[in-house]
Amino acid sequence: MTEETYSTDGAECPYCGHVDDADNSDGALYSDDMDEWTCGSCNKPFKVSLYIHYTWTATPYDDVAHPEDPEGEHNDA
């Protein structure tokens, strides 16, 4: 009878629903070998899986404007 929780803020306790904010964990909740967490509210340990999500945006150096793209018009050089 386990119930999985999902949060983008930190580890949400599957027992009591308390969210331990990742930003307040001293980096512990961002560690990729972290697989267990103890709830800061009810002190029960539970299993944690961390999903790291990366995105990349690439822009060419010679930012020659596409006429239909107003963001591309940086002609101050």
> What is the x/- site pattern for Zn ion, positions 39-68, by CB under 5 A?
x-xx--------------------------
Q: Residue 71: how many CB atoms within 10 A of its CB?
A: 9
Q: Candidates 5, 15, 34, 38: give the one binding Zn ion (CB under 5 A).
A: 15
Residue in 31, 33, 38 with CA at minimum distance from that of residue 15: 38
Q: Is residue 7 involved in binding Zn ion (CB under 5 A)?
A: no
Residues in contact with Zn ion by the rule CB under 5 A: 13, 15-16, 18, 39, 41-42
